[in-house]
Amino acid sequence: MDATIVSEVPKHYPVMLKEIISIITPQYGGTFIDCTFGQGGYSKKILEFKNTKVIALDRDKDSQKKANQIKLNFEDRFIFKNIKFSQLNNLKLKNEDIRGVIFDLGYSYTQIKDPKKGLSFQSKGNLNMQMGLNNYSAEDAINQLDEKELGKIFKFFGDEKESKFISRNIVKERSKKKIDTQTLVEIIDKTKRKKNFKVHSATKVFQALRILVNKEISELIFGLINAAKVLKKDGVLVVVTFNSLEDKIVKYFLKSLSENKSISRYVPVTQQAETLFILDQKKAIVPTDKEVNENLPSRSAKLRYGIKKSNFYDFETDILDQFKNLIEIENFGDKL
């Protein structure tokens, strides 16, 4: 998400809330997993419907405060876990009627403006970008990874066309001093030959670093796989993305499991569907003009969803092979 845009918004809005509620139909009851709790917008709306239960997840420990407020009003119907959504398969859900799993992959206004998180290029001091349960920071990556590794990160995670030049200048500068947020912004700004006055020069590099530090590629892939496993028949997997890389992964996952054979080798064919999902709408849903006018960050949002055809748990997917190159780049950070 473009931090220059987010800074214009006074508070966080749950993106495409009306559309998501109409897709997951909480009026019929059931348990819903809010994988990116944040400020609690989706959870609060779902809990307005009787006979619903929400299990909310967020890796950001700061979300606990908002979760505690909701717990006061919905003690028996709301559970919060400070875990990564890739770990949702570790929840004890045997007796839960999981009707929907929701991912909103954007960052809230509160998170962007938090100076300790250092997500914005407008922040001062040390680079961070850790959203919680991390092993290293953006400062570690910028000051320790080699030139080729940084170049690949900026190119593939940020679609930065001048990635090689930026990484080269970072390595030169860090031989003199440690790179902090403002130094990195200055390096990028001086390196970029073509300026886009609508988008800050540092936007793509900061996006790339955030993806690396929070392992957003593998988190999303394993989150999707585990969400698909825990959903019950006719349950809905809903994902809101904010950049082309996220959308590419989600689109491939849903498309491949609705068109190709995704049956498990461990279960008799007679007991399972040939494919995992039905896609009512193959094209991404985008916000209305009205919503974009009220909440500018929503303009880059895309919503995709799939409806699970049967209760089978194990299924075949080649998504890890499909995005193997991105996962290998993401793993550069493992040596930090």
Output the six-digit token pair for 133. 């349960």
* 3-state SS record for 126-144: CCCCCCCCCCCCHHHHHHH
Taking Cα atoms as reference points, which of 144, 200, 190 lies closest to residue 166?
190
pTM for this structure? 0.92
Output the six-digit token pair for 145. 């990874």
CA dist 171 and 162 (Å) reads 15
Statement: residue 150 has pLDDT above 50: yes
Per CATH, which fold does 3-110+216-312 belong to?
Rossmann fold (3.40.50)
Local structure of residue 12 (DSSP, 8 states)? -
Non-local (6+) Cβ contacts of 108 within 8 A are 12, 38, 39
Question: What are the extents of the domains in the chain?
Answer: 3-110+216-312, 117-214
Statement: residue 6 has pLDDT above 60: no
Partner residues linked to 238 by β-bridges: 102, 305
Statement: residue 323 has pLDDT above 80: yes
Q: Residue for token digits 């499909």?
A: 322
pLDDT by residue (tens digit) across 246-281? 999 999 999 999 986 666 655 555 555 588 999 999
3-state helix, strand, coil in the chain (%, to 5): 45, 10, 40
Instruction: Transcribe 259-325 into DSSP letters.
Output: HS----TTS-GGGS-SSSEE-S--SPB---HHHHHH-GGGGG-EEEEEEE-S--------HHHHTHH
Residue count (the chain): 336
pLDDT of residue 312: 80
Beta strands in the chain (DSSP E): 30-34, 52-57, 78-81, 98-104, 236-241, 277-278, 302-308
> Do 104 and 38 contact (CB within 8 A), yes or no?
yes
Partner residues linked to 78 by β-bridges: 54
Higher pLDDT: 8 or 296? It is: 296
Q: Which range has the worst mean pLDDT, 26-30, 42-46, 122-126, 272-276?
A: 272-276
SS3 call for 99 = strand
CA dist 20 and 24 (Å) reads 6
- Rounded average pLDDT over 142-171: 98
Domain 117-214 part of CATH 1.10.510.10: no
> Do 18 and 305 contact (CB within 8 A), yes or no?
no
pLDDT by residue (tens digit) across 186-221? 999 999 988 777 788 999 999 999 999 999 999 999
CA dist 276 and 165 (Å) reads 44
Output the six-digit token pair for 139. 């400062």
